[in-house]
């Protein structure tokens, strides 16, 4: 029997790749999308199947993480083997502007799903998209034993979700796991996250469409990995014999400034300082300065290790954004993907 997966946040960066990966693995995939007055499913349009034809493998359902009844009904109707809970208001800076709705969606949304699983009495495995932001400024490298010190409404809500996931595992025996994922980026990353903001600006400047990019704290450091590899880790976490929590990271950290250096040089634009202006509006009331994940447990138990390194990630993203503007991309990024992922399961953007 084919397995059934339900993905919240299927139209997001991770959700779209995960849907593609699970379809490749032979799953029947169900995804929750929000209603909007325009279509917001661009990232999964290439996977869409007309529900009127036979043997459809992908099903989209309207829903919202604030709607308990809707979530319960979907879970009881679909009866998924696995739920990947990726839906969230995922922008740290924006969470300071809308703390209450962030906590409702990113915190209580998780509780609503766990309650629905518990009440359904179905043997559903649950994956929670936890985040390195939960560590705050606790000294790197951060691993599964590092205490949390959240520094944004987003991170506070994620700490609640982490804890409630573990609590439902211990109290009710639910196969519920946390993936504590460090930043992972790629060609479907939302345009307001710093990496994609930079690679899109590089392409636009190269094309003569823009002259400047406005940024906040470019000294912040992150452990940046390649999104598709992190998707595979999510699936692996749910295939273990026992439910557990894992840090997923590259083990390296680089500043936003270094990202700028590599991206502008790679595109042949020279020194990034000619193009960058600092704008106060992009600073956060409280910053997380330096995240470096220690992925040893994932290596030992999941045999998972990041293949794409920092410079390679930047090149992959710049190539993609240059291609989108019909510019001749340097092409090293495309070559890296071909070499490192001969069995690539995703559509190259």
Residues that bind ligand F7E (CB under 6 A): 90, 92-93, 131-133, 182-183, 192-194, 197, 215-218, 220, 222, 256, 282, 284, 287
Contact 317, 329 (CB under 8 A): no
How many residues touch ligand NAP under the rule CB under 6 A: the total is 25
Q: Is 131 a catalytic residue?
A: yes
Which residues touch 173 (CB under 8 Å, ≥6 apart)? none
Q: How far is the CB of 53 from ligand NAP (least distance, A)?
A: 25
Closest CA to 134 of 124, 123, 143: 143
Q: How far is the CB of 90 from ligand F7E (least distance, A)?
A: 4
> How far is CA 264 from each of CA 196, 268, 271, 334, 349, rounded to the nearest angstrom?
13, 6, 7, 17, 20
Q: Is 48 a catalytic residue?
A: no
What mask of x and - would describe binding to ligand NAP in positions 70 to 89, judged by CB under 6 A? ----------------xxxx
| Catalytic choice (82, 133, 185, 312) | 133
Contact 40, 11 (CB under 8 A): yes
Q: Is 229 a catalytic residue?
A: no
Under the binding rule (CB under 6 A), the answer on residue 190 touching ligand NAP is: yes
How far is residue 266's CA from residue 321's CA, in Å, rounded to a whole number?
A: 13
| The one segment of 13-21, 46-54, 138-146, 306-314 that binds ligand NAP by CB under 6 A | 13-21
Under the binding rule (CB under 6 A), the answer on residue 7 touching ligand NAP is: no
**284 interface partner picked from ligand NAP, ligand F7E, none, CB below 5 to 8 A per type:** ligand F7E
Largest CA distance in the chain: 60
**217 interface partner picked from ligand NAP, ligand F7E, none, CB below 5 to 8 A per type:** ligand F7E
Using the rule CB under 6 A, which residue among 184, 254, 315, 323 binds ligand NAP? 184
Sign of CA dihedral 265, 267, 268, 273: negative
- Provide the 8-state DSSP code for 107: I
Kindly list the catalytic residues: 131, 133, 154
């Amino acid at each position: 029997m084919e397995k059934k997966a339900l993905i919240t946040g299927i139209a997001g960066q991770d959700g779209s790749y995960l849907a593609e990966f699970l379809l490749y693995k032979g799953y029947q995939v169900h995804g929750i999308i929000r209603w909007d007055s325009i279509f917001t499913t661009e990232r999964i349009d290439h996977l869409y199947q007309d529900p009127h034809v036979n043997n459809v493998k992908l099903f989209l359902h309207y829903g919202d993480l604030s709607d308990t009844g809707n979530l319960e009904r979907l879970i009881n109707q679909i009866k998924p083997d696995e739920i990947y809970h990726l839906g969230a208001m995922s922008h740290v800076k924006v969470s300071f502007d809308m703390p209450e709705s962030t906590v409702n969606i990113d915190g209580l949304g998780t509780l609503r799903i766990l309650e629905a699983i518990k009440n359904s009495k179905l043997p559903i495995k649950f994956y929670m998209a936890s985040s390195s932001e939960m560590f705050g400024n606790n000294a790197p490298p951060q691993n599964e034993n590092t205490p949390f010190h959240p520094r944004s409404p987003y991170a506070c809500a994620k700490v609640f979700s982490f804890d409630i996931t573990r609590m439902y595992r211990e109290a009710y025996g639910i196969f519920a796991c946390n993936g504590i994922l460090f930043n992972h980026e790629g060609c479907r990353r939302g345009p307001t996250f710093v990496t994609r903001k930079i690679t899109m600006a590089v392409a636009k400047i190269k094309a003569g469409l823009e002259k400047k990019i406005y940024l906040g704290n470019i000294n912040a450091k992150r452990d940046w990995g390649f999104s598709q590899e992190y998707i595979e880790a999510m699936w692996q976490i749910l295939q273990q014999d026992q439910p557990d929590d894992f840090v997923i990271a590259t083990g390296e950290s680089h500043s936003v400034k270094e990202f700028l250096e590599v991206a502008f040089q790679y595109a042949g634009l020279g020194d990034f300082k000619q193009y960058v202006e600092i704008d106060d509006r992009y600073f956060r009331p409280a910053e997380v300065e330096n995240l470096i994940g220690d992925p040893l447990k994932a290596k030992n138990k999941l045999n998972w290790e990041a293949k794409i390194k920092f410079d390679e990630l930047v090149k992959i993203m710049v190539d993609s954004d240059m291609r989108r503007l019909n510019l001749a991309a340097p092409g090293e990024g495309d070559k890296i993907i071909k070499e490192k992922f001969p069995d690539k399961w995703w559509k190259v953007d």
